[in-house]
Amino acid sequence: MKVLVFDIWGDYGHFRKFFTTSSPLTFSFPPPSTIAGILGAICGFNKNEYLKVFSFETCKIGLKIASPVKKVRMGMNLINTKDFNWQPIQTKHHEPRTQIRTEFLKDPYFRIYVSHEDRGIFKVLEQNVREHKCVYSISLGLSELLADFKYVGVLEAKELKDIFTEISTPIVAGNLIDSEITIEQGKKYFKEKMPIKMNPDRVVELYDDVIYEPDGQTIKARVKTCYKLENGEYITFF
């Protein structure tokens, strides 16, 4: 199996947690549906197409935290549309803007792993990434948070079953065997519940806990399935 590897980064990122409302919080890394949107932007598939093209069934997506996770909170000025009306000037009973305290990732940097069963789509994606081209601008969650990317390579991957090893990527809890993780000194272990599978109607069909090391270090665990890349790295997909 061939796996496309590329890096993506930006000044800020925001991947809104589904359970937050008035004070938006961010996931520590983009969920697979968000990465599918980035792949769609690179290839030229619009928002109504990319979840079909890069679906859970046809496309494998993985991610590595390449820079320690850092979070900051800032106020965002949003247009005040209360009462379904926007007045651009301040009055006694109306403010033209409302400020929302929002959490952002600071200097996010990720390594993306992608494999697709359609060789034609994989070829277009690989060529555009290698030539540093994209059809639509790519961003890290919000359209204002523009991102850059660079090609790393296409690597051969070998599938392995029921193996205990050092995993370079976050691990979906459903992929663990008997929740077997070795806690090592000098490492931190976090868990976030996030959407794993989203259908083309943008309905989430599967949520699961994802275990990760926020500094990007490996996690020693027993997993049902992982992939060994030709560079010796062990990864899992969402």
Question: Which of 114, 81, 78 has its CA nearest to residue 99?
Answer: 78
Angle among Cα 68, 74, 77 to the nearest 5 degrees reads 140
pLDDT per residue over 192-213, tens digit each? Answer: 999 999 999 989 999 999 999 9
CA distance 205 to 75: 32
Question: Which of 4, 37, 32, 231 has its CA nearest to residue 127?
Answer: 4
Q: Is the pTM of this model over 0.75?
A: yes
Compute and round to an integer the Cα radius of gyration of the chain: 19
Q: Residue 207: helix, strand or coil by DSSP?
A: strand
Q: Which CATH architecture has domain 2-76+100-235?
A: 2-Layer Sandwich (3.30)
Q: Can you give the pLDDT at residue 94? A: 62
Mean pLDDT across the chain: 92
CB-based burial of residue 69 (10 Å sphere; 0-12 exposed, 13-18 middle, 19+ buried)?
buried
Q: Can you give the pLDDT at residue 75? A: 85
Structure tokens, 131: 């030539």
- Per domain, the residue ranges of the chain are 2-76+100-235
Q: Residue 96: helix, strand or coil by DSSP?
A: coil
